[in-house]
């Protein structure tokens, strides 16, 4: 573990007697076998895919219904015990770490697709349904859910972190694709944030407030999502550029013409090398765009030809088409496994994943400067980006036991965040804040916005029981872990 | 005026001495001539285009900068004087009525377009810029702002009410098109809700919280908006159907195929009759779709052919193309002037405009039942709808002095709201709550959601000075006016 980053002063945990009373009530509610307190179970639920130190909860429960979830929250609220929602554990900023202990509420048994309306192009699911399980359910119906963060996250987790991914340039993020949420509030009541109507101006947009709130304002148990008709035709292409700036300029040109490209992913030369090695491909080791087009056959053809022409204007070296569906899927599998590909570059290493997002006009500058910084710092770190959104990821490959290397990576990450903010961007495009980036929030937003966010948190969760220490640093209960 | 709807007990106003002290401070800040207290000025600023009783503010000020706006808010906060933001006065649920008196802050002198980035496809404007002024500024740059509510509203007002309109089916509402806001908080501080990055997951989505908050949480002074590249080609068509259900089924068919139609507007037979008379057109007096297609010339052609085929399957009677740009503009001018066309159906009448929105699978049922209700109630009321969103408007033409007729319209509106909610919809798709629909909010959302919204309001505006009596009924300061 990255001990260099661990807590210097332990945040206040729940007193033992309160915790025991809560666990007794939970056992009465769910039965002994559904309140897990084994070390493995607890450790697993306090650990995500990030490089941040995990923190095990005191117990793990797995509700089977919204009502059961509400009862769990009421028990925890009565005893003042923190509640940490858990989906698939794929978050990247320490979102599931139980910094003050408490109860991890694992939603994976709530995995039912409750209703699908192809007519209304919406679907209602329980929070524990995973992205791939939903995809399998929707495919035969001729519709799909477009938000694709790569990992097989739960939909509840994706809403909680405000996830996005490769298709957001065309279809939007979770914020644009969640119609309505069922949420358990801090007082253990169940609310539905809005109706299924496509549009509403009936009061504050609580839906968008819970999306991206990382479990700090309420616990999401059900979601109604917009779905899209499966495109009649899909086509993919790969295109290498002499320099990063050419690739970004090509994307800007595509966006300015309003060509509705479904995916535009940028991989830098280090990442392309990793993908080639991992997936046994032989693409040029150069800044490369992976592209995908959706639409009617004629429209896909037209889009691709237009993009090929724009790419040529920006010095593209070839424009390789995925010949068929198998090749298209292979291409995106390679892109989606870029994380594993990175790990394979340095066996035994762990990846320290971070992301940032800037206005696209500043993207070249931000990535070029970041690459220079990585190389000067002597780190191994591929870059991959959802370039149409101005969003990019850096995976730093580390020996977690090498304290000096970890310290270099931490310092690099801080410079990356400051660089993105200075260029008019954000410290996180899609990974969220968790506790890994909580300390950067005031730098990005200023003290008054932070004050509004804290007021909002206090209004919704006055006891600070919902995922304490996330988004905001742990101040009320002692110094935070960073 | 519709006296049947007026206040039965006047809500508490600001005590005279507090008001005088505030006005003295405002005069010191802005000079005598920029603090208007004339009866005409005040009446105009308490009146919108709705049928709800207006309520004049005590004074009107016109700030010229964000900093000046913040100083105005600080003066009002110090003296406990309500602050009512004013844009173009085109709201439809009494949003600008000064129910407790106070100061109307007219944003129309803040009418500068501050920066435009065609590269980033975004523009930053002051809140008083109107939709048409922005359009004129953007057109030569090859981009446009897609949200089109018909009225020439200010962008600040459009954000505050969460406006949408004819193009939302393709481009989304204000919620999807506002990137960032500059807002003056209740304590008179200036915040920017987020960066210009396309995506961010750095904390709560304050932007979407202020969009649609109707001036109750803060005062919007600047906006950064997403803009779209002007389509290479545009084409429009008109298509009549034997019955309303056929038109709606056609739209469902179009959406299910993912055809990216830019506009799909439904006009019922009464509305078509009004449009024909007003615009000197000779369309069939039948349920009719007005359609618009954006894209490359080939894609526009393909979309239109596909939609024509779907329309034919649903019994369409003809599919008339706008031959050229002049005819296309004429068509949409006719659609946008449907409000005036309605008024012309009954000279001397006023229009009582209301809207509702339901899942599209319930739209036929909702509109057919609404039309039957209108006819049985003996009212004259055309229906027009943003049918791709499941949203429709009813304009009841009334003699405002006929109390019995007004009472029938009020009762009809309440039935319409209850019908939409019972069908899984919302009491307002895009007009907002104002004070006209505040009493329906609990019916739609339930008491716990209302409690969360009230907690949010109290957290952001503890003195209840920002547009009091809107969204929520005036309870803290005496009985509300409805």
Using alpha carbons, list the distances in angstroms from residue B54 to A343, A436, B47, B58: 66, 51, 5, 13
List all residues 6 or more positions away from B138 whose beta carbon is below 8 Å from its beta carbon: B116, B123, B144, B145, B227
Q: A417 and A366 in contact (C-beta within 8 Å)?
A: no
For residue B49, the SS3 value is coil
Across the interface, whether the CB atoms of B433 and A459 are under 8 A apart is answered no
Least CB–CB distance from A430: residue in B199, B449, B452: B199
Cα distance from N-terminal residue to C-terminal residue, chain A = 15
Q: What confidence score (pLDDT) does residue A478 get?
A: 36
Question: Closest-CA residue in chain B for A228?
Answer: B258
Report, at the CATH architecture level, how domain A3-108+454-460 is classified: 2-Layer Sandwich (3.30)
Query: Please, where in chain B does CATH 3.30.43.10 lie?
Result: 3-107+454-460
Q: How confident is the model at residue A328 (pLDDT cuts 50, 70, 90)?
A: confident
Q: What is the mean pLDDT of residues B449-477?
A: 91
CA distance, residue A141 to nearest chain B CA (Å): 11
At the topology level of CATH, where does A346-440 sit?
Alpha-Beta Plaits (3.30.70)
**What is the per-residue pLDDT across B328-369, written as a single tens digit (0 to 9) for each?**
888 888 888 888 888 888 999 998 899 999 999 999 999 999
Q: How confident is the model at residue B13 (pLDDT cuts 50, 70, 90)?
A: confident
- Kindly report the length of chain B: 482
Is any Cβ of chain B less than 8 angstroms from the Cβ of A458?
A: yes
**What is the per-residue pLDDT across B32-55, written as a single tens digit (0 to 9) for each?**
999 999 999 999 999 999 889 999
Q: What confidence score (pLDDT) does residue A2 get?
A: 41
Q: Chain A 4-33, CB below 8 Å of chain B: which residues?
A: none
Q: What is the mean pLDDT of residues A145-157?
A: 96
The percentage of residues in chain A with a pLDDT greater than 90, rounded to a whole number, is 86
B84: left (phi over 0), alpha (psi -120 to 50) or beta: beta
Q: How confident is the model at residue B312 (pLDDT cuts 50, 70, 90)?
A: very high
Q: What is the mean pLDDT of residues B295-304?
A: 95
* Average per-residue pLDDT for chain A: 93
SS3 sequence, chain A? Answer: CCHHHCCCCCCCCCCHHHHHHHHHHHHHHHCHHHEECCHHHHHHHCCCCCCCCCCCCCEEECCCCHHHHHHHHHHHHHHCCCEEEECCCCCCCCCCCCECECEEEECCCCCCEEEEECCCCEEEEECCCEHHHHHHHHHHHCEECCCCCCCCCEHHHHHHHCCCCCCHHHHCCHHHHEEEEEEECCCCCEEECCCCCCCCCCCCCHHHHHCCCCCCCCEEEEEEEECEECCCEEEEEEEECCCHHHHHHHHHHHHHCCCCCCEEEEECHHHHHHHHHHHCCCCCCCCEEEEEEEECHHHHHHHHHHHHHHHHHCCCEEEEECCCHHHHHHHHHHHHCHHHHHHHHCCCCEEEEEEEECCHHHHHHHHHHHHHHHHHHCCECCEEEEHHHCEEEEEEEECCCCHHHHHHHHHHHHHHHHHHHHCCCECCCCCCCCCCCHHHHHHHHCHHHHHHHHHHHHHHCCCCCECCCCCCCCCCCCCCCC
Question: Closest-CA residue in chain B for A439?
Answer: B202
Is any Cβ of chain A less than 8 angstroms from the Cβ of B171?
A: no
CATH of domain B233-339: 3.30.70.2190
> Is the pLDDT confidence value at A175 over 50?
yes
**Interface test mutation site (partner B, options A116, A143, A200, max chain B beta carbons within 10 A):** A200
Q: What confidence score (pLDDT) does residue B342 get?
A: 87
Query: Please, where in chain A does CATH 3.30.70.2190 lie?
Result: 233-339
Question: Closest-CA residue in chain B for A198?
Answer: B389
Give CA–CA dist B79/B98, Å, rounded.
16
> Is the pLDDT confidence value at B3 over 50?
no
Interface confidence: ipTM more than 0.90: yes
Is any Cβ of chain A less than 8 angstroms from the Cβ of B196?
A: yes
Q: How confident is the model at residue B10 (pLDDT cuts 50, 70, 90)?
A: low
Give CA–CA dist A202/B444, Å, rounded.
8
- Kindly report the length of chain A: 482
Across the interface, whether the CB atoms of A195 and B444 are under 8 A apart is answered yes
* Chain A with chain B: Cβ pairs closer than 8 A: 286
Q: What confidence score (pLDDT) does residue B476 get?
A: 45
At the topology level of CATH, where does B3-107+454-460 sit?
3.30.43
List all residues 6 or more positions away from B136 whose beta carbon is below 8 Å from its beta carbon: none
> Is the pLDDT confidence value at A361 over 50?
yes
Chain B residues whose CB is inside 8 A of the A255 CB are: 121, 229
Give CA–CA dist A185/A162, Å, rounded.
19
Using alpha carbons, list the distances in angstroms from residue A39 to A36, B19, B350: 9, 65, 71
* Structure token pair of residue B28: 């010191």
**What is the per-residue pLDDT across A457-482, written as a single tens digit (0 to 9) for each?**
999 999 999 999 999 987 544 333 33
Q: Could you tell me the strand order of the sheet in which A113-117 lies?
A: A113-117, A122-126, A219-226, A178-184, A190-192
CA distance, residue A44 to nearest chain B CA (Å): 25
**What is the per-residue pLDDT across A49-65, written as a single tens digit (0 to 9) for each?**
988 999 999 999 999 99
CA angle, corner A123, sides to A118 and A124, nearest 5?
150
Point out the least confidently predicted range of A8-12, A319-323, B284-288. Answer: A8-12
Burial zone of B404 (CB within 10 Å; 0-12 exposed, 13-18 middle, 19+ buried) = exposed
Chain A residues whose CB is inside 8 A of the B229 CB are: 255-258
Chain A residues whose CB is inside 8 A of the B114 CB are: none
Using alpha carbons, list the distances in angstroms from residue B356 to A114, B53, B480: 26, 21, 23
> Is the pLDDT confidence value at B480 over 90?
no
Q: How confident is the model at residue A6 (pLDDT cuts 50, 70, 90)?
A: very low
Which H helix or E strand runs over B105? strand B103-106
Give CA–CA dist B56/B40, Å, rounded.
9
The dihedral of CA B471, B473, B474, B476: what is its sign?
negative
Q: Could you tell me the strand order of the sheet in which B83-86 lies?
A: B35-36, B59-61, B103-106, B83-86
Q: What is the mean pLDDT of residues A129-149?
A: 97
Is any Cβ of chain A less than 8 angstroms from the Cβ of B448?
A: yes
Q: Which of B342, B340, B242, B341 is nearest to B289 (CA)?
A: B242
The percentage of residues in chain B with a pLDDT greater than 90, rounded to a whole number, is 86
Q: What confidence score (pLDDT) does residue B11 get?
A: 65
B460: left (phi over 0), alpha (psi -120 to 50) or beta: alpha
Q: What confidence score (pLDDT) does residue B129 get?
A: 98
Is any Cβ of chain A less than 8 angstroms from the Cβ of B201?
A: yes
Q: What is the mean pLDDT of residues A412-438?
A: 97
> Is the pLDDT confidence value at A395 over 50?
yes
CA distance, residue B168 to nearest chain A CA (Å): 9
Q: What is the mean pLDDT of residues A416-444?
A: 97
Across the interface, whether the CB atoms of A198 and B119 are under 8 A apart is answered no
Q: Chain A 93-132, CB below 8 Å of chain B: which residues?
A: 117-122
Query: Please, where in chain B does CATH 3.30.465.10 lie?
Result: 113-229
Is any Cβ of chain B less than 8 angstroms from the Cβ of A444?
A: yes
**What is the per-residue pLDDT across B137-157, written as a single tens digit (0 to 9) for each?**
999 999 999 999 989 999 999
List all residues 6 or more positions away from A458 whose beta carbon is below 8 Å from its beta carbon: A464, B459
CATH of domain A113-229: 3.30.465.10
Q: What confidence score (pLDDT) does residue A302 get?
A: 95
Question: Closest-CA residue in chain B for A182?
Answer: B449
For residue A54, the Cα-to-chain-centroid distance in whole angstroms is 18
Is any Cβ of chain B less than 8 angstroms from the Cβ of A447?
A: no
Q: What confidence score (pLDDT) does residue B343 get?
A: 87
Q: Which of A445, A443, A429 is nearest to A394 (CA)?
A: A429
Is any Cβ of chain A less than 8 angstroms from the Cβ of B213?
A: yes
> Is the pLDDT confidence value at B385 over 60?
yes
């Amino acid at each position: 573990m990255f001990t260099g980053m661990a807590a210097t002063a332990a945040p206040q945990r729940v007193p033992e007697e309160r915790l025991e009373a809560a666990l007794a009530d939970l056992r009465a509610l769910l039965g002994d076998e559904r309140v897990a307190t084994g070390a493995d179970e607890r450790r697993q639920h306090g650990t995500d895919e990030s490089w941040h130190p995990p923190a095990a909860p005191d117990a793990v429960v797995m509700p089977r219904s919204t009502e059961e979830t509400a009862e769990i929250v009421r028990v925890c609220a009565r005893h003042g015990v923190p509640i940490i929602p858990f989906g698939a554990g794929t978050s990247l900023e320490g979102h599931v770490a139980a910094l003050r202990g408490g109860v991890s509420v694992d939603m994976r048994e709530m995995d039912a697709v409750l209703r699908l309306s192809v007519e209304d192009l919406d679907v209602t699911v329980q929070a524990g349904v995973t992205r791939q399980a939903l995809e399998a359910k929707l495919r035969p119906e001729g519709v799909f859910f477009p938000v694709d963060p790569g990992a097989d996250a739960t939909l509840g987790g994706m809403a909680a972190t405000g996830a996005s991914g490769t298709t957001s340039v065309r279809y939007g993020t979770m914020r644009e694709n969640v119609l309505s949420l069922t949420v358990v509030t801090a007082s253990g009541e169940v609310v539905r944030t809005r109706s299924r109507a496509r549009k509403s101006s009936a009061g504050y947009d609580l839906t968008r407030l819970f999306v991206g709130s990382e479990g700090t304002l309420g616990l999401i148990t059900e979601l109604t999502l917009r779905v899209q008709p499966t495109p009649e035709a899909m086509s993919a292409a790969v295109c290498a550029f002499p320099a990063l700036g050419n690739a970004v300029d090509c994307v800007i040109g595509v966006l300015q013409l309003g060509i509705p490209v479904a995916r535009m992913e940028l991989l830098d030369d280090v990442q392309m090398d990793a993908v080639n090695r991992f997936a046994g491909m032989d693409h040029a080791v150069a800044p490369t765009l992976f592209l995908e087009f959706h639409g009617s056959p004629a429209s896909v053809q037209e889009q691709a030809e237009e993009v090929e022409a724009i790419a040529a204007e920006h010095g593209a070296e070839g424009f390789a088409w995925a010949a068929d569906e198998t090749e298209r899927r292979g291409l995106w599998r390679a892109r989606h496994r870029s994380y594993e590909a990175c790990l394979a570059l340095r066996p035994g290493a762990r990846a320290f994943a971070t992301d940032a997002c800037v206005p696209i006009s500043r993207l070249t500058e931000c990535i070029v400067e970041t690459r220079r910084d990585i190389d000067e710092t002597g780190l191994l770190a591929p870059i991959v980006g959802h370039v149409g959104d101005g969003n990019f990821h850096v995976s730093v490959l580390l020996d977690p036991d090498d304290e000096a290397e970890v310290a270099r990576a931490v310092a690099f990450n801080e410079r990356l965040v400051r660089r993105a903010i200075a260029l008019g961007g954000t410290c996180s495009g899609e990974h969220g804040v968790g506790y890994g980036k909580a300390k950067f929030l005031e730098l990005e937003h200023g003290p008054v916005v932070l004050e509004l966010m804290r007021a909002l948190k206090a209004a919704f969760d006055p006891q600070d029981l919902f995922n304490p220490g996330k988004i905001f640093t742990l101040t009320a209960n002692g110094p935070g872990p960073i």
